[in-house]
């Protein structure tokens, strides 16, 4: 194969990480630039191009890139655009796929980070061979990428898969960043866990290691550290979080009946503190026909490489589409919305 | 085309209705037999075969059937089986697709009635041209058929699309037929509406036309009739029902971002009594990025023909699969579960 590599680019609010990836998911080399350095997108693109080419030259990979996949907040696979994003410094709407494709002369496809994570897991990780699964990313927010029949679910407008914004508490729910109340994300993200800690500490009297920390600066990591030390209240916070995730996963199952739900992100590393109550709650709340059928497993991608790998998975799709047109996989930049 | 027709068979708890359908969705002729007459499935199949052949001969359609599609409770598209079903009189598990295919010498595919309704709507009805939509059937229960990327969602085990069993009330919810509490179906089916009527009548004092009916025999039709006459309590029951459906539809949207949600079944004919509060509630509860994007529309299939048309839509798939093998559309009877 004359073009054996793809380029994965993950545009985060702080760093833009990129890497050269082969078909087996080996990251040959990676590097990064600062996302916020240039408020002019063309200046950002110039720097990205220069740094990518430096990496390609150093790895004998110039002209060997089949496609480029990009994961970025709010990126729309169908339109190739980012319509708006408060975390990125450039004027919106931004025709990201088109501009990167023109600059690099390579097909480009884009999607949001949680969808990229799902594609990465399906291409190189825990979801290899699975045709129906849901990826849940437990980070600052709760993101999701849904795969049905081996295809990522984009929905009619490209914005499907916002499972973090399923309503879990219909009365007196916590305010969510989306402007509504009671969303899963307001409870089961890293910030949600910290909010639960503050709530528990305020309404209870029992002692806890968490009381040694100024209440407004408590993080989910603090809760984890306390729970590992056996702190009862901290363990109950994980029970509460796992219980709600289990309720949510039972509801997701009646929709798409996935073979597995795959967890990624900081909170997913809490091990059985989170997984035991989560799995118990999921089975308890599961519709009988689905009981014992849905696996909850952890991502198999190394955290340091996951974002680049996820984005790169879309690079294969963009590149293949260029070689043999296919309505599902046409590069976003060239695709006309139906 | 030498085989211009398909046969649609809808196996209900009382009647088995079947019809000859052409490519434009015209039901050339239809007839029915009693489902419960034979506890021996082979005897049932003999009668079905005889009656179908009588219909085919009368319509010059012998040897012109490309495929047979069957809608039946709990029917599994992947396995071609009904594993269990309390409403059917035959020994379970039943290899329905295989037995019908062998009897008729025609490819057969089966699925449950709500999935068949979605396929019917996509092939001949309100969902023609839509690639992402959700069919909701508001009957004795709340059924659903989900279409994503132009494909029906079966899930890894064939049982996906049980949206009537999404949990809407996590505390003190009504008992559902599935054994859990708080399911959408326990509130927004025809029986759910009757339960709401009983609840409202018991906890309130205000006058209502519904008080003229023995409370245990009130049906959703009674509530409709009273609401049409301007009865305030009856109208509030529709407000309550529409409000909850709207909340549910907003949650379904974060999953698959459908272009439309299509309603079918007795309650769907309640017009604006149901649709106005439903649409208002859906927009009010919708995640901002999806507001104003999802249409709620009514089925365009004639009620008398809908079940046969829905089942027949699967007949095209079974027949085409036979002509040109395709992993998605291989007849259920011949398909091996991955």
Mean pLDDT is lowest, of A94-108, B250-264, B309-323, for: B309-323
Q: Of A113, A266, A137, which is closest to residue A194 (Cα–Cα)?
A: A266
Residues of B with Cβ-Cβ distance to A169 under 8 angstroms: 170
Residues above pLDDT 90, as percent of chain B: 89
C-beta atoms surrounding B10 within 10 Å:
26
Task: Give the gap in angstroms from C-alpha B161 to the nearest C-alpha of chain A.
Answer: 5
ipTM score: 0.91
Q: Residue B133 corresponds to which tokens in the numbers above?
A: 């939509």
Best residue in A82, A85, A255 to probe B by mutation, most B CBs within 10 Å? Answer: A255
Q: Of A204, A207, A203, A208, which is closest to residue A223 (Cα–Cα)?
A: A208
On the question of pLDDT at B18 being above 80, the answer is: yes
**Is B153 within 8 Å of A148 when comparing Cβ atoms?**
yes
pLDDT of B68-126, one tens digit each? 999 999 999 999 999 888 889 999 999 999 999 999 999 999 999 999 999 999 999 99
Mean pLDDT is lowest, of A235-244, A295-304, B166-175, B315-324, for: B315-324
User: Using CB atoms, which residue from B166, B168, B293 is nearest to A157?
Assistant: B293
Q: Which distant-in-sequence residues (6+ apart) come within 8 Å of B200 by Cβ?
A: B233, B236, B237, B240
Q: Residue A28 corresponds to which tokens in the numbers above?
A: 């040959």
**Residue A324 confidence (pLDDT):** 40
Say how far apart CA B174 and CA B158 lie, in whole Å. 27
Task: Give the gap in angstroms from C-alpha B23 to the nearest C-alpha of chain A.
Answer: 24
pLDDT of B45-55, one tens digit each? 999 999 999 99
Q: How many helices (H) and strands (E) does chain A have?
A: 9, 10
Taking CB atoms within 8 Å and a gap of at least 24, the contacts of A170-173 are A170/B168, A170/B169, A170/B170, A170/B247
**Residue B85 confidence (pLDDT):** 86
**H or E segment and range at residue B275:** helix B272-285
User: Using CB atoms, which residue from A161, A170, A289 is nearest to B247?
Assistant: A170
Q: Of B307, B336, B332, which is closest to residue B100 (Cα–Cα)?
A: B332
pTM: 0.92
Say how far apart CA A223 and CA A214 lie, in whole Å. 13
SS3 B75: strand
SS3 B338: coil
Query: Cis (ω within 30 of 0) for the bond into B338?
Result: no
Q: Residue B203 corresponds to which tokens in the numbers above?
A: 């906890």
Residues above pLDDT 70, as percent of chain B: 94
Q: Report residues of chain A scoring pLDDT below 50.
A: 324-338
Task: Give the gap in angstroms from C-alpha A105 to the nearest C-alpha of chain B.
Answer: 29
**Residue B322 confidence (pLDDT):** 64
**Residue B303 confidence (pLDDT):** 83
Residue with structure tokens 């598990």?
A: B93
Query: Cis (ω within 30 of 0) for the bond into A93?
Result: yes
**Residue A87 confidence (pLDDT):** 84
Best residue in A92, A93, A130, A148 to probe B by mutation, most B CBs within 10 Å? Answer: A148
Say how far apart CA B261 and CA B241 lie, in whole Å. 16
**Residue B13 confidence (pLDDT):** 87
Q: Of A308, A312, A238, which is closest to residue A268 (Cα–Cα)?
A: A238
Q: By the 8 A CB rule, do A35 and A307 touch? A: no
Residues of B with Cβ-Cβ distance to A130 under 8 angstroms: 156
SS3 B317: helix
Query: B336 pLDDT band (50/70/90 cuts)?
Result: very low
On the question of pLDDT at B324 being above 50, the answer is: no
Q: Of B327, B332, B272, B288, which is closest to residue B116 (Cα–Cα)?
A: B332
Angle at B152 (CA atoms; ends B149, B158), nearest 5 degrees? 135
B149 sits in the region (left: phi over 0; alpha: psi -120 to 50; else beta) called left
pLDDT of A285-298, one tens digit each? 999 999 999 999 99
User: Using CB atoms, which residue from A250, A287, A293 is nearest to B157?
Assistant: A293
Say how far apart CA B165 and CA B181 lie, in whole Å. 9
**Residue A322 confidence (pLDDT):** 63
Pure H helices in B40-135: 41-58, 96-104, 113-124
Residues of B with Cβ-Cβ distance to A159 under 8 angstroms: 257, 289-290
Task: Give the gap in angstroms from C-alpha B62 to the nearest C-alpha of chain A.
Answer: 36
* Pairing outcome for strands A142-148 and A151-152: antiparallel
Measured CA distances, A84 to A78, A88, A127, B200 (Å): 15, 9, 31, 46
User: Using CB atoms, which residue from A155, A254, A338 is nearest to B258?
Assistant: A155
Pure H helices in chain A: 41-58, 96-104, 113-124, 185-188, 190-203, 220-228, 232-256, 272-285, 303-323
**Is A255 within 8 Å of B165 when comparing Cβ atoms?**
no
**Residue A85 confidence (pLDDT):** 86
Residues of A with Cβ-Cβ distance to B153 under 8 angstroms: 148-149, 255-256
């Amino acid at each position: 194969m004359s073009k054996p590599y793809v380029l994965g680019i993950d545009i985060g609010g702080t760093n833009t990480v990129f890497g050269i990836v082969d078909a087996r998911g080996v990251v040959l080399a990676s590097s990064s630039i600062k996302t916020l350095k240039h408020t002019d997108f063309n200046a950002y693109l110039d720097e990205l191009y220069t740094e990518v080419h430096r990496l390609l030259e150093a790895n004998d990979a110039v002209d060997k890139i089949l496609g480029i996949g990009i994961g970025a907040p709010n990126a729309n696979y169908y339109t190739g655009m980012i319509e708006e994003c408060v975390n990125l410094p450039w004027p919106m709407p931004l025709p990201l796929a088109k501009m990167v494709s023109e600059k690099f002369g390579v097909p480009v496809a884009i999607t949001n980070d949680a969808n990229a994570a799902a594609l990465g897991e399906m291409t190189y990780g825990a979801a290899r061979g699975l045709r129906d699964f849901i990826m849940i990313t437990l980070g600052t927010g709760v993101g999701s990428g849904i795969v049905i029949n081996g295809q990522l679910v984009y929905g009619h407008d490209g914005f499907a898969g916002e499972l973090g914004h399923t309503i879990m508490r219909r009365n007196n729910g916590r305010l969510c960043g989306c402007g509504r109340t009671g969303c899963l994300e307001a409870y089961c993200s890293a910030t949600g866990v910290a909010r639960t800690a503050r709530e528990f500490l305020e309404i209870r009297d029992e002692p806890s290691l968490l009381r040694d920390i100024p209440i407004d600066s408590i993080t989910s990591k603090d809760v984890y550290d306390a729970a590992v030390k056996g702190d009862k209240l901290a363990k109950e916070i994980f029970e509460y979080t796992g219980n709600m995730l289990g309720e949510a996963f039972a509801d997701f199952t009646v929709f798409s009946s996935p073979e597995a739900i795959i967890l990624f992100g900081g909170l997913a590393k809490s091990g059985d503190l989170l997984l035991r109550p989560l799995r118990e709650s999921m089975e308890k709340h599961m519709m009988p026909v689905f009981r014992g059928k849905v696996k909850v497993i952890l991502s198999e991608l190394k955290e340091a490489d996951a974002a680049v790998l996820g984005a790169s998975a879309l690079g294969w799709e963009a590149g293949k589409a260029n070689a043999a047109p296919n309505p599902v996989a046409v590069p976003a930049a060239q695709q006309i919305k139906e």
